[in-house]
Amino acid sequence: MEKQQKVCIRVSHVTKRFGEDVILKDVSMELAEGRVYGIVGNNGSGKTVLMKCICGFLLASAGTVEVFGQRIGKDVDFPESLGVIIETPGFLTNLTGRKNLEILAGMRRRISQADVRLVLRRVGLDPDMKKPVAKYSLGMRQRLGIAQAIMEDPKLLILDEPFNGLDRHGAAEIRKLLLELKEQRKTILLASHNEEDIRVLCDEVYEMDGGVLQKIR
């Protein structure tokens, strides 16, 4: 008998309005531990707004979002054990990538400077590189964003277009990394325009169209 998978995220009948505009329309989904979920859809379809509601960056106008059994906006403002990339990650551009991560790590003191060096190598960046983030390519910034998202070993990753700016080799490296994280029982929700990313990575796929979410695989 297969062990029942633990629900990590439960989105129940979520609607999100901005004034007269309805961006999410009665959206429901359940995400189980240790699986990778994909959301596809055109720009402006509501994918990023849904992710922001799950992360607690936006509150639903109606319905509920629960992460690890805690209701967002009621029990907690933001989920515990969350790594996130939504839109372009913001870094201090006059500092190196390593210094940026060390500053972030120092806020919660969960990881050491040695851990920061390891995570930079894991995403394909040299921890000893002296170049400031201002001189990073788009792909290098994206790798740094992924390092920031995974560095504290979160149980949940919310990744909006995590392959932006990566060449084919870079995308393949990050896909491999995400599959390794899945093996470690992480739950991953990602949005991508690339069919190969979705095909290779995702156990289940949803489509967002005009604020309406439906499962397509």
Are 92 and 141 within 8 A, CB to CB? no
Give the fold, CATH level 3, of 1-81+154-217. Rossmann fold (3.40.50)
Are 54 and 84 within 8 A, CB to CB? no
pLDDT of residue 126: 96
pLDDT of residue 130: 94
Q: Which of 34, 39, 45 is nearest to 11 (CA)?
A: 39
The ranges assigned to domains in the chain are 1-81+154-217, 91-152
Model confidence at 3: pLDDT above 70: no
pLDDT of residue 110: 80
For the stretch 162-206, pLDDT in tens is 998 899 999 999 999 999 999 999 999 999 888 888 888 999 999
Rounded to two decimals, the pTM is 0.90
d(CA 37, CA 157): 10
Model confidence at 1: pLDDT above 60: no
* Encoded tokens for 37: 């979920």
pLDDT of residue 87: 77
For the stretch 147-169, pLDDT in tens is 999 999 999 999 999 998 899 99
Average pLDDT over residues 52-58: 95
Model confidence at 43: pLDDT above 80: yes
Average pLDDT over residues 39-57: 93
pLDDT of residue 195: 82
pLDDT of residue 4: 60
Q: Which residues pair with 187 in a beta bridge?
A: 156
